[in-house]
Amino acid sequence: MKKTIAVIFGGRSAEHDVSIITAHTPIIQSLLAMGQFDVWPIYIAKDGSWYSDQAMNDLAYFKQDNFQSNLARQKKAQILFDNGLKIIWPGIRSKTIQVDIAFPAMHGTFGEDGSLMGLLRMAGIPFVGCDLFASTVAMDKVLTKQVLAAESIPVVPYVWFTKNDWEMNGSIWIEKIAKLTWPVFVKPVHLGSSIAIAKVKQNSELKNAIEVAFHYDDKVLVEESVENLIEVTLPIMGNEELRLASIERPLNKTEFFDFSDKYLSGNKKGDGANSQYSEIPANIDKELAKQVEDFGKRTYRTLGCSGIARIDFLIDGASKRVYVNEVNTLPGSLYHHNWKKAGVSGIELISKLISLAEERFDSQQKTTYVFDSEILKKAGGQKMVE
């Protein structure tokens, strides 16, 4: 009997389309090729509607010109999180599918940020990738820096503020930003895939960059730019025992590795960042590589990551200082191109992630979450009234 696996993707996020690519390449593609699972795609549209149809296992479904009209005719699926995850198509010919394992493939808000992980924890089924806590912290670039700094993991100096802070008294923040070493980067705190990130070299550009960032988020981070920059990233996999992929260096065409470079450049198949635009393994000093690997592992453990994550680093080529930049708990297309170069095929990557999910779930099952107490019986008694 094949296990049923649900790949959940799309979502109300700026990275909705990237999520569709990740879900199909390599996740669904590998799951179907393995032939060991009954694969059910769960697609969350930009308006938040949930759909599930095995026709969506084919990426071509989403590339059709009449995709939106097809979707409008599609029957919405209901998801039940009560004691397991079930996909239900209500109606006269109602149908229910019991899901054994979930494979979240959502980037950004309402997915990668821990929202989906919370639902899956409630359902009580194994799910692939980082759990709720790591996902939530990693989604907030500021929170990530604060947690890492507390563990003496180097991060670049920064200033952060909310939309409300900015609207109340923007000049205070302008002053604080002025004290940073320029140029600076302005980033929305919760967005991935380099969306709405700007490098600001002079004061006149700052306000506009902040306004753009606030268009996408209610919390903004302004941090020092690392000059003589060597930007590298390191995908890591595992729960307790960690396996590192290759250190990858994006070969920037622009001043930083933006959304287009990551997902659209070069690769006609559009299956995520590709080798043409990155150097794998990165041609950096052995000592720097060692630092990246050490900080990578420490960051992964400090945030409580499990399954898979990708740690981004900024290296000052002159001072040889390494900073952790951010943590991505669902790397685009799982960075399978990098894993492949590290000797892990698409199918091996997916099956390993599934086994890690099951391993974590089994371990969580051993934790006691409820216990019998006398508190209800005593409620309303004299002491409680007092």
Q: Footprint of other proteins on this chain (CB under 8 A)? A: 26, 29-30, 33-35, 340-341, 343-348
CA distances from 362 to 117, 240, 366 (A): 16, 14, 7
Q: How far is the CB of 80 from other proteins (least distance, A)?
A: 31
Nearer of residues 5 and 191 to other proteins, judged by Cβ? 5
Q: How far is the CB of 22 from other proteins (least distance, A)?
A: 15
For tokens 């302004």, name the residue.
222
Nearer of residues 33 and 172 to other proteins, judged by Cβ? 33
Q: How far is the CB of 27 from other proteins (least distance, A)?
A: 11
Nearer of residues 53 and 348 to other proteins, judged by Cβ? 348
Q: How far is the CB of 305 from other proteins (least distance, A)?
A: 24
Q: How far is the CB of 172 from other proteins (least distance, A)?
A: 53
Cβ–Cβ < 8 Å for 55, 61:
yes
Residue 379's CB: how many other CB atoms inside 10 A?
10
Nearer of residues 299 and 338 to other proteins, judged by Cβ? 338
Q: How far is the CB of 32 from other proteins (least distance, A)?
A: 9
Nearer of residues 25 and 144 to other proteins, judged by Cβ? 25
Nearer of residues 205 and 348 to other proteins, judged by Cβ? 348
Q: How far is the CB of 348 from other proteins (least distance, A)?
A: 7
Nearer of residues 32 and 174 to other proteins, judged by Cβ? 32
Cβ–Cβ < 8 Å for 59, 25:
yes
Q: How far is the CB of 289 from other proteins (least distance, A)?
A: 21
